[in-house]
Amino acid sequence: MRDTDRSSSEMAQATELATLGGGCFWCLEPVFEEVVGVQQVEVGYAGGGMANPSYEQVCSGRTGHAEVVQIRFDPQQVSYRDLLEIFFSIHDPTTPDRQGADVGPQYRSLVLYHNAEQRRIVEDLAAELRAEGVPVVTQLEPFQVFYRAEEYHQAYYRKNPGAGYCQVVVAPKLAKFRAKYASRLKAAAQGA
């Protein structure tokens, strides 16, 4: 049976969710969209106290929310640990409330775990990185709620590759990811 023949409920039962914040969600979304086993990536807000925040409210830094990506993935094709390894390599997990020129709590490094197994995996990986000398400051919190960002933020890089931020920040990050993880790309799997 092809994925297109499966119902949404069957696909949801066969998949898991990962919710990650590592700076601007425009940078994270296109990376994870290219990973084999990732079925859907949405950008949004999580980790704060305000219900249904707007982009402007989150950008104020007063809602407690971070910009995040919510990733639906097939654990038979890509593990949660694999996604975390990619996550830790595509952003700077050593700077609190900052990714490059993006500054504020909404840009913090954050993993919102969905179950005890995910928590254990991220704790183990963070400990391994610290043992290697990487001073990880990534916050680890239980997932509570995800607020989908406004529609113009969804697939932003794909829709706006010529925008200044996309060319200067997103495109180089995506190129670095593609070079490092070539074997994990959907394009590589389709060519095989």
CA distance 12 to 26: 24
Whole-number pLDDT of residue 1: 42
How do residues 87-141 score in pLDDT, each as one tens digit? Answer: 999 999 999 999 988 999 999 999 999 999 999 999 999 999 999 999 999 999 9
Spatial contact of 47 and 64, defined as CB atoms under 8 Å apart = yes
In a domain, 129, yes or no: yes
The pTM of the full predicted model, rounded to 2 decimals, is 0.91
Spatial contact of 15 and 72, defined as CB atoms under 8 Å apart = yes
* Total count of domains within the chain: 1
Q: Could you give the C-alpha distances from 19 to 37, 68, 131, 140, 147, in angstroms and in order?
A: 15, 7, 24, 11, 11
In a domain, 110, yes or no: yes
In a domain, 102, yes or no: yes
Q: Is 61 exposed, middle or buried (0-12, 13-18, 19+ CB in 10 A)?
A: middle
Pairing mode, strands 109-113 and 139-142: parallel
**27 included as an active-site residue:** no
Whole-number pLDDT of residue 66: 98
In a domain, 187, yes or no: no
In a domain, 188, yes or no: no
In a domain, 6, yes or no: no
Whole-number pLDDT of residue 9: 57
Q: Which tokens hold the place of 78?
A: 């890509």
Using DSSP, state whether 175 is helix, strand or coil.
helix
Whole-number pLDDT of residue 2: 44
> Residue 38 phi/psi, 5° resolution?
-85, 125
Using DSSP, state whether 166 is helix, strand or coil.
helix
In a domain, 191, yes or no: no
CATH number at residue 98: 3.30.1060.10
In a domain, 1, yes or no: no
Residue linked to tokens 């990962």: 18
Question: 68 is in which domain, residue-wise?
Answer: 14-182
Low-confidence stretches of the chain (pLDDT beneath 50): 1-4
Q: Which of 24, 27, 59, 166 is catalytic?
A: 24
